[in-house]
Amino acid sequence: MKTRSIVLVAAFALSACGNPNSSKAQEGEFAQPTRTAPSDAAGMKSSFAPVVRSAAPAVVNISARSVQRVQADPFFQFFGGGIPQARVAESVGSGVIVRSDGIVVTNNHVIDGAQQIKVVLNDRREFPATVILADERSDIAVLRLENVSDRLPVLAIDDQEEQQVGDLVLAIGNPFGVGQTVTNGIISALNRTETGISDSGSFIQTDAAINPGNSGGALVDMDGDLIGINTAIFSRSGSSAGVGFAVPAAMVKRVVDSALGGATTVVRPWLGVKGDTVTGDIAGSLGLTRPQGLVVTDVYANGPAARAGVRQGDVITAVDGQEINDQGGLNYRVGSRNPNDQVQVAILRDGRPETLTARVQPLPGDADPKQGVTIEAGPFAGAEVVALNPALADRLGGDPFATGVIVTGVSGRGYAARAGFRQNDLIVSINGRAIASARDVETASSGRGPWEVVVNRGGRQIRGVLR
């Protein structure tokens, strides 16, 4: 059976952008760009050089170096040769200058784990850089160049989302570490959510050639503005197959604004609903003309959607005019907003369209609990647990609507470790009793067994009996 793989395109291992005169804003309004296909041979021979001259100086090469400790082979340890060795790993990627004082955007996987980062400009100047914010979920990192003494060229971030399928684009980056390279193509698709790259991503798809080393580089429109950061490809070989993905500029700007505002993490608001994609069968049962939208299956009590009047059974069709077709698309649309922003939620209720106004909020709860409760007796003895909340569940990549108690640590000496419990296991029930707190765990597992335990591990429910 043939398979396809997702490749994060920055990690080309060596060890084994500015348009300040953008014409989009006119008296506070954003003019719709004119789109015309080439009508003759002369038009087909038109050059991208003016766009490249404007954009390329703001696209940089990034070298990220890390030192990894490698434990010597135990066989050689026996003969006195077991001193751990240091291995230097270096990878090459790309980045984009988005502020003239040296703020650079790249992919998180370009610099993840690096102890030393060097940025090389298009004019061959070199700067050391430090990470001021790295957001794993969007795969966007923001760097600050050190020792910048003059204004650097920048690429304007175009977050207005005016792009259309078929628009011409350029990909600028450093494929395979060969140096800055420009490729061209079109926008193949917008709002790609079911890619396997991220559960909250909505990507621009392009057929412009993107290869390892291009990660963090610029996807540029014909105005010379940054519309996305190239991040991944679908490929069986690891090289470009014409199916590349870029993080849209709206999310890039969200991460940059968070970094420049002093935040160490990106706080993603939520609407407080979950639902199912409208299939053909669901569309038929609801009397819809086509399968489009998200059927609301649950509304979080007193959450933003509940306060706005969203009900179970409503079909969410759009947020702020952008079409919604699945949970990932909804998560992205809401998550790219700032907390406390108002959004317009278009719904269908009993076949009638309505528009509701919701004020999106951060997920409730503590996403990083400082300390859990260690269970002293019973089948969970030696396990440190904490009650799950929406913010913590979201940070762990789970369902914010889930309830239960999460295992945050397991002592090697306790019964819990011998029974096979692991960190991040979600305790759902004990002897049929729903678990919502550490006290519930202690109470339900007290006394003598057997104990029937239901645990959710990585989205898979496991049921067992402990004696």
Q: Which of 109, 188, 225, 394 is catalytic?
A: 109
Question: Residue 363 to residues 140, 151, 282, 324, 400: CA-CA distances in angstroms?
Answer: 21, 39, 29, 20, 8
Reading the block at residue 116, the tokens are: 């030393």
- 162 burial (CB, 10 Å; 0-12 / 13-18 / 19+) is middle
Q: Are 418 and 447 in contact (CB under 8 A)?
A: no
Take residue 420 and report the two structure tokens written for it.
Answer: 């096979």
DSSP 8-class letter at 110: H
Interatomic CA distance for residues 229 and 253, integer angstroms: 11
Distance, CA of 285 to CA of 331 (rounded, Å): 25
* Gap between the Cα atoms of 396 and 368, Å rounded: 10
Which residues have CB under 8 Å from 215's CB, separation 6+? 8, 9, 10, 11, 93, 94, 106, 107, 109, 110, 173, 230, 231, 232
Asked whether 423 and 409 are in contact (CB, 8 A), the reply is yes
> Can 47 be counted among the known catalytic residues?
no
The C-alpha atoms of residue 101 and residue 151 are separated, in whole angstroms, by: 6
Question: Is residue 139 annotated as a catalytic residue, yes or no?
Answer: yes
Secondary structure element (H or E) that encloses residue 181, with its range:
strand 181-192
* Helix H or strand E encompassing 462: strand 460-466
366 as an active site residue: the answer is no
Sequence-distant (6+) residues with CB within 8 A of 66 are: 88, 89, 90, 113, 114, 115, 116
62 closest CA partner among 131, 1, 155? 131
Find the DSSP H helices in 29-156. 41-44, 49-55, 74-78, 108-111
Q: Quick one: which H or E segment has residue 280?
A: helix 280-286
- How far are the Cα atoms of 137, 204, 231, 327 from residue 201, in angstroms, in the given order? 8, 10, 11, 10
Torsion angle, CA of 373/378/380/383, rounded to 10 degrees?
40
Per annotation, catalytic residue among 215, 235, 258, 336 = 215
Q: Determine the 3-state secondary structure of 274 from DSSP.
A: strand
Active site residues: 109, 139, 215
